[in-house]
Amino acid sequence: MPIRDEGPLADRATYKAFHMVSTRWADNDQYGHINNAKFYEFVDSAVNAHLIIADALTESIGLVVDSGCRYTSSLAFPDVIEVGIKVDHVGNSSVKYGFAVFRRGVSVPAAVGHFVHVYVDAQTRRPKPLPDKLRAVVENLKAD
């Protein structure tokens, strides 16, 4: 279901990496579409898979401190989803990620949003500067 127009939607070309997600029957809610909370699971999995595959999460863990999402249309099982990710800002110990959730083969996203990870020491949970390898990976995801 479309929502009010608040400006242009995300251009697929601005996303630097894509991760495919196969939806499951259990992702549908009682209204017959994928519940909004599942979108965050898809995005969290996409970003962390990208970082794990790059072996960039060996020294820190990322805690979400801010997030937001604008839903533009619904998805439902058995849709296959492509999650586009990019980086909008890199700080000393934080990264602001942008994301868009697309139904496979569709250029208009079903959802666009952002979230911020603060990277912390796994033991103390205190922020620490981004390790060099993690910084290199997220810098490579920066939006143009």
Average pLDDT rounded to a whole number, residues 11-23: 92
| Alpha-carbon distance values, 52 to 39, 113, 117, 132, 144 (Å) | 20, 22, 15, 15, 24
Residue 59 pLDDT: 85
Residue with token string 């697929």: 12
Fold of 12-139: Thiol Ester Dehydrase; Chain A (3.10.129)
Residue 6 pLDDT: 45
Residue 12's pLDDT band (cuts 50, 70, 90): confident
Please give the Cα distance from 17 to 28 (Å, whole number): 26
Tell me the chain's radius of gyration from C-alpha atoms: 16
Residue, of 9 and 101, whose pLDDT is higher: 101
Residue 13's pLDDT band (cuts 50, 70, 90): confident
> pLDDT tens digits for 48-69?
999 999 999 888 899 999 999 9
The model scores a pTM over 0.85 = yes
Give domain limits for the chain: 12-139
**Across all residues in the chain, what is the average pLDDT?**
91
Please give the Cα distance from 133 to 89 (Å, whole number): 16
Please give the Cα distance from 24 to 113 (Å, whole number): 22
Residue 9 pLDDT: 67
